[in-house]
Chains A and B, each alone.
Chain A
Amino acid sequence: MSEQAFVQVRDLKRVFDVSKPWLNRVLERQDKQFLKAVDGVSFDIRKGETFALVGESGSGKSTVARMVVGLLHPSGGTVSIDGVSMSDAKAAQERQRLRKRIQMIFQDPYASLNPRWRVGRIIAEPIHAFGIIQGDAAITERVGELLSLVGLHPDDGKKFPHEFSGGQRQRIAIARALASNAEFIVCDEPTSALDVSVQAQILNLMRDLQQKFGLTYLFISHNLAVVRHMATRIGVMYLGRLVEVSDGKQLFAAPRHPYTRMLLDAVPDLAMVGKPREGVKGEIPNPINPPSGCTFHPRCPLVFDRCRVENPPVIDGVACHAVNAGRVAA
């Protein structure tokens, strides 16, 4: 890796206690149950790039996003941004300085804006919280500027969120993320609640803003096509683990992990070349009781004995015994 990545995620873990209430456990003689949502995930994000995490439901990609921005405490591992560790930033002041540089865009634009606040106040909130600009007139001007930046009218600040369409609300959410002059924006499924024509507008806008301000994105999505369009580098997650990390286009041209291959094969595509389907096997297992060893082994066409007992480490960007042992051309 390069000398010092902008964002460093090391061995990140998160365990959720999904046990029933104490009384039920005692009566039903059950043990506590834990869900390993994220299990030892490491990756780097370079400044100015878009790193995408892709995976199906239960893969833990959103949990990683929430830990990276600090909404959720990791059960283990570290996240550091520009050399400052999130967990070390004990002093309130230092943490607040770090927060200013990180923002998040959420999936549901209908829930991410407080319905009782006017849009202008929503966008101004980070400006107030971080004390970026003083004076009401200056702040109003800045809010208008931000609204124009995302393609809305400065007067739109006087309206309430319900007066806007889904796409426009996502623009407002982006304006709020930019209000603190953030450098690093975590985007959790930013377009999956939007229609395709609106999705194109938002994706284009995000790219334009990235070029204009040199933004770094962590882009979470289940949509491989969107990820391919946006990402510089891509990490594929399966059941809380990172199974493959690769340069954007490379992942699609030459997928290495058997899960990645299966996923790519399953995507319905407009090209309609009538490709024969491999016939995807099975479904994602229950993450509370994941399979032993490599969690993908029950669905894997390349499975052999070692896969059932030993969790494969990520070597050269791919976590698969078969690939690492050279059993398949990688």
Chain B
Amino acid sequence: MTQPVLSVQELTVEFVTRRGTLRALDKVSFDVARGEVLGVVGESGAGKSVTGSAIIGLIDPPGRIAGGKVVLSGERVDNLPPEEMRRLRGKRIGMIFQDPLTSLNPLYRVGEQLVETIQTHTDLNAADARKRAIALLDEVGIPAPDRRIDGYPHEFSGGMRQRVVIALALCAEPEFIIADEPTTALDVSVQAQIITLIKRLCKERGTSVMLVTHDMGVIAETADRVAVMYAGRVAEVGPVRDVIKEPLHPYTQGLMGAIPSITGEAERLVQIPGSMPRLSSIPKGCAFNPRCSKVFARCHVERPELIDVGGHQVACHLYDQASAGKTEIAA
């Protein structure tokens, strides 16, 4: 197997508060291959955004990376000094956030921001950087880019703004892009356009993307593989088709049944009782055990590790040979 572009290994992030240490990420591991879109999906509090922030070194105190490592193209980056980390961001890791308005400075023309970013990360002169910026705007599908480049962010619509943000993320031709809920603030019709764009760019440029979202539909359309997170842990990772069609983890199974579909016939949605635990009260053993319909004794005491089951990985005792005798394995 070739070297993954990004490898996250047993990453643990803790927040120290006066009431004790809260573990926002607990030994999270996954790889992203070259040109691959990894979807990271989870409900609020699952730790998906913290994962993105941890990778780019943007965990603010009282939070800290308490363990594990982040490896970018074979090079460990989680322990870089802040100055080097800052250079890494934007150059080797691009970022796309939920609200395009927060990533664009309203006081500067779109072109100025693009040119500035290009010149920070490459040694192009101003004229070439501008040409490059126009080419990028064209690539992300902004009509008349040579004219629009002199517009201010507020002159762009929501979808066009998100395109500009994507162009901004592409400036230094990063090998890896983190897209945190890139379509959540957009309308359905625009969302579809942005999804198509991200997919196309990935394919054409061979960039790897970590797509963080709560929307399974977006994952289904965009991602190659998907990691399902629950309470700061990875519950299941696998090819997107397998995870969606044949989820293994009881949480993923519940999640899939809970999503209303525009084609399905379900009269009643599957309901997972209760809600995601707060960080201050994550249950012992498997974090999902109080809500799980297939819970058994081992789940209360021992945390399940990710194990390989038919092409994808799942963290559930149901699929572990050692406990297979004790309970029926769900089909």
User: Which A residues contact B (CB, under 8 angstroms)?
Assistant: 56-57, 165-168, 195-201, 203-204, 207, 222-226, 228-229, 252, 262-272, 277, 279-280, 283-284
User: Once the chains are docked, how many angstroms separate the CA of A277 from the CA of B160?
Assistant: 19
Is B189 a contact partner of A262 (Cβ separation < 8 A)?
Answer: yes
Known interface pairs A225-B262, A270-B261, A280-B192; A196-B157 also in contact (CB < 8 Å): no
Apart from A196-B216, A269-B220, A271-B264, list 18 A-B contacts with CB within 8 A.
A56-B187, A56-B189, A57-B187, A166-B44, A168-B275, A195-B44, A196-B255, A200-B259, A200-B271, A203-B260, A223-B260, A225-B259, A226-B260, A263-B188, A269-B261, A269-B262, A271-B263, A272-B244
Is A277 a contact partner of B196 (Cβ separation < 8 A)?
Answer: yes
Q: Which of B195, B255, B262 contacts A252 (CB 8 A)?
A: B262
**In angstroms, how far is the closest chain B Cβ from the Cβ of A57?**
6
The interface residues of chain B lying within 8 Å CB-to-CB of A201 are 271-273
| Residue interface bits B64-94, CB-to-A below 8 A is 1, else 0 | 0000000000000000000000000000000
User: Once the chains are docked, how many angstroms separate the CA of A86 from the CA of B192?
Assistant: 40
The interface residues of chain B lying within 8 Å CB-to-CB of A265 are 192
Q: Is B305 an interface residue (CB 8 A)?
A: no
Known interface pairs A229-B260, A268-B217; A198-B189 also in contact (CB < 8 Å): no
Q: Which of B44, B158, B188, B190 contacts A267 (CB 8 A)?
A: B188
Is B254 a contact partner of A197 (Cβ separation < 8 A)?
Answer: yes
Is A268 a contact partner of B220 (Cβ separation < 8 A)?
Answer: yes
Is B157 a contact partner of A283 (Cβ separation < 8 A)?
Answer: yes
| A251 nearest CB neighbor, chain B only | B262
**B interface SS class:** helix
Contact size range, B: 35 or more
**In angstroms, how far is the closest chain A Cβ from the Cβ of B221?**
4
Is B217 a contact partner of A269 (Cβ separation < 8 A)?
Answer: yes
Is A197 a contact partner of B272 (Cβ separation < 8 A)?
Answer: yes
User: Which B residues contact A (CB, under 8 angstroms)?
Assistant: 43-44, 157-160, 187-193, 195-196, 214-218, 220-222, 240-241, 244, 254-264, 266, 268-273, 275-276
User: Once the chains are docked, how many angstroms separate the CA of A258 from the CA of B34?
Assistant: 39
The interface residues of chain B lying within 8 Å CB-to-CB of A166 are 44
Is B271 a contact partner of A272 (Cβ separation < 8 A)?
Answer: no
**In angstroms, how far is the closest chain A Cβ from the Cβ of B185?**
10
Is A272 a contact partner of B241 (Cβ separation < 8 A)?
Answer: yes
Is A284 a contact partner of B187 (Cβ separation < 8 A)?
Answer: yes
**In angstroms, how far is the closest chain B Cβ from the Cβ of A289?**
13
The interface residues of chain B lying within 8 Å CB-to-CB of A284 are 187, 189
Is B261 a contact partner of A195 (Cβ separation < 8 A)?
Answer: no
**In angstroms, how far is the closest chain B Cβ from the Cβ of A288?**
13
The interface residues of chain A lying within 8 Å CB-to-CB of B196 are 277, 279
Please name 9 pairs of A and B residues whose Cβ atoms are closer than 8 Å in the assembled complex, sorted by A. Answer: A196-B255, A198-B275, A200-B271, A266-B188, A266-B189, A267-B192, A269-B220, A272-B244, A280-B189
User: Once the chains are docked, how many angstroms separate the CA of A211 from the CA of B196?
Assistant: 41
User: Once the chains are docked, how many angstroms separate the CA of A211 from the CA of B156?
Assistant: 46
The interface residues of chain A lying within 8 Å CB-to-CB of B264 are 271
User: Once the chains are docked, how many angstroms separate the CA of A284 from the CA of B189?
Assistant: 9
Is B215 a contact partner of A268 (Cβ separation < 8 A)?
Answer: yes
The interface residues of chain A lying within 8 Å CB-to-CB of B222 are 268
User: Once the chains are docked, how many angstroms separate the CA of A4 from the CA of B264?
Assistant: 33
